[in-house]
Amino acid sequence: MRRGAAFASLLDEALSGLWRARRVTVVSVFQISFSLFLVGLFLLAAENLGGVVDTLREETAVTLFLRPGADEASRAALESRALESKLVAAIRRVSPEEARGRFARSFGSLAGAAGTLSGNPFPASVELDLLPGAISSAALRPFLANLAAHPAVEEVQFDVDWIRRLRGVVRLVAAAGLATGVLLALGAAFTIANVVRLTILLHRDEIDILRLVGAPEVLIRGPFLLGGVLQGFLGGLVALGLLAVAFRGLLFFVVSTENVLLGVFVVRFLSPATCGVLVLGGVLAGLFGGTIASRRGHV
Amino acid sequence: MIEFYGVSKEYHGRRVLKNLSFKVAQGEFVFLTGPSGAGKTTVLKLLYRAEGPGEGQILVNGRNVGAMPPGRVPELRRTMGIVFQDYKLLPSRNVFENVSFVLKFLGVPLAERRRRAYQVLRLVELHHRVNALPEELSGGEQQRVALARALVNEPELLVADEPTGNLDHRLAQEVMRLFSQINVRGTTVLVATHDVNLIRETGRRCLTLDRGGVLEGLVEAALPPQAAWRREGGIKLPPRDEDAR
């Protein structure tokens, strides 16, 4: 048999089988989609927590507020000390005018008040962008103490402990999400396996007849395998739809309650790539479940 | 085409076939007859490898069926048209699907499947019931669907187990005429039946299995105990009804 015709027959048989057992198919697709929906929730949380981590990464800049009148030589010595630490990726100088401009942009309503002051209350500063991994380096704390002791530095702004704790929490949540996701995906696969097995039991007589009249094994077992894959695919699509509805609902809730904290976390829906991964997860779960159920011993 | 050499078969210690040997040549039309329990169905099952022989050798088209690896069995069955005693129709598929799905295995396009299924359903006078499910058909109609399914693939070998058991006499004769037409085209036909009149009317070679549950060997010229069979011109024919009386 030509491959194209064989696949068309396989697909036709799989679709016909799903249609004939449409009630079971609908229940199965919703079971799969519920499992994938939960997986998707974790992916949604993980992606948005990832956004928070990115923000934190941007925030891993150490700000050194300089004493008024700190001269160029002491600034240069400070920067040189920072670079020698091998913890700093980049150094940025911020003038008092620039600092006032940032304040005005960040706090528009207070900008006028700042403008009424006789002088510029914002000190000059030096911002140090830390290298990736510097946060967890044992040398960071002595380095910060060393900078704080520099005569040109009035204050060092950087709460390393808080950031470390937060990153730890984010890592824990991401790991828990991943583990739960894997468990739920396995659950989805076994759901599919059971549904496929149930379908096989319902069609036991037909399978025997197909064998007696010489149906190739691929056309006997293939439709069940393909049926599992199709159910996984449909389950993935339905799960995406449910996630989109849930996300919209959450957004509506955030906007209506004007909850700033939630607004920080709920920022975006799953990326197209993650959506693809979710549907692919459904397909793989279907393939896995279909393979388990349609092994020769079962069919 | 079909060769049995010293074939024996037991079921749960009860010997059904014992040292059975016979041949059916390519293009022959042969009846297999004998009383209930004589092993007619077993012989057919051995042919399409629904059962493996206990002893002996079975050749179909030169291929040793008993020694055939399981992966090759579907291919063997696809060269045959098989009419089962209990029809074995797919209950959830309509008449057209039941008849045409064999062609689907072979990659026959849908339009061609429709054409051939319609033709063969016309032959068995069921072309007006293509959308009916098996449960909506009478026993005779179901049997004709099973016949149509066996014929649709124009098989090299047609094997039928009591193919006219549920048909009235006119339809039974029509089925036999169909088998003859298929046979004329070169298909070997082996029909298991206990319908003596049918065999007589058809005038074909007949192989008889002994009564008694145990096959002691095939005796082509043997007379069945309950009726006087007779040989005419090398072809064994059962007696006409008036002769039996």
Q: Distance of alpha carbon A73 from its chain centroid, rounded? A: 46
How many helical (H) and strand (E) elements, i.e. helices and strands, does chain B have?
8, 11
In this model, does residue B217 exceed pLDDT 70? Answer: no
Contact B74 A211 (CB under 8 A): yes
Which H or E run includes B206?
strand B205-208
Q: Please state the φ and ψ torsions of residue B204, each to the nearest 5 degrees.
A: -110, 170
Which residue, chain included where needed, has tokens 């279907």?
A286
* CA–CA separation, B236 and B32 (whole Å): 11
Beta bridge partners of A91: A128
**What does the pLDDT average to over A4-29?**
79
* CA–CA separation, A143 and A146 (whole Å): 5
Q: What is the pLDDT confidence band of residue A114, given thresholds at 50, 70 and 90?
A: low
**Cα atoms in the 13 Å half-sphere on the side-chain side of A156:** 21
* CA–CA separation, A220 and A17 (whole Å): 11
Question: Of B194, B198, B199, nearest to B209 (Cα)?
Answer: B194
Give me A73's structure tokens: 């030589």
pLDDT tens string B74-85: 888 988 999 998
pLDDT of residue A110: 64
Whether residue B29 contacts residue B189, with contact meaning beta carbons closer than 8 Å, is answered with yes
In this model, does residue A183 exceed pLDDT 90? Answer: no
pLDDT tens string A23-70: 878 887 888 888 888 878 877 877 777 666 666 655 667 888 988 888
Residues of A with CB under 8 A from a CB of B: 1-2, 5-6, 9, 12-13, 20, 203, 205-206, 208-217, 219
pLDDT tens string B174-216: 788 888 888 888 889 999 988 878 888 877 888 888 653 334 3
Question: Of A199, A205, A194, nearest to A223 (Cα)?
Answer: A199
B78, B80, B92 ranked by CB distance to A206: nearest = B92
Give me A119's structure tokens: 């002088």
Contact B77 A213 (CB under 8 A): yes
Q: Within 10 A of B121 (CB to CB), how many other CB atoms are there?
A: 25
Question: Is this complex scored with an ipTM above 0.90?
Answer: no
pLDDT of residue B244: 39
* CA–CA separation, A13 and B95 (whole Å): 16
Contact A9 B48 (CB under 8 A): no
pLDDT of residue B131: 93
Q: Which residues of B are less than 8 Å from A206 in CB distance?
A: 90-92
Share of chain A above pLDDT 90, in %: 4
A5, A208, A215 ranked by CB distance to B74: nearest = A215
Contact A214 B77 (CB under 8 A): yes
Question: Of A286, A299, A291, nearest to A220 (Cα)?
Answer: A299
Q: What is the pairing mode between strands B188-192 and B29-33? A: parallel
pLDDT of residue B242: 39
Rg (CA), chain A: 30
Please give the DSSP secondary-structure letter assigned to residue A26.
H
Which H or E run includes B171?
helix B169-184
* CA–CA separation, A30 and A204 (whole Å): 25
Q: Could you give the dihedral angle defined by the CA atoms of residues A109, A115, A116 and A117, in that order, rounded to the nearest 10 degrees?
A: 120
Contact A212 B106 (CB under 8 A): no
pLDDT tens string B6-64: 888 888 888 888 888 888 999 999 998 888 778 888 999 999 998 887 888 999 988 89
* CA–CA separation, B75 and A217 (whole Å): 10
Phi/psi zone of residue B229: left (φ > 0), alpha (ψ -120 to 50 degrees), beta? beta
Give me A214's structure tokens: 């010489």
B80, B104, B149 ranked by CB distance to A9: nearest = B104
pLDDT tens string B146-157: 989 998 888 889
Higher pLDDT, B76 or A2: B76
Q: Kindly report the nearest CA distance between residue B111 and chain A, in angstroms.
A: 13
Share of chain A above pLDDT 70, in %: 82
* pTM score of the predicted model: 0.62
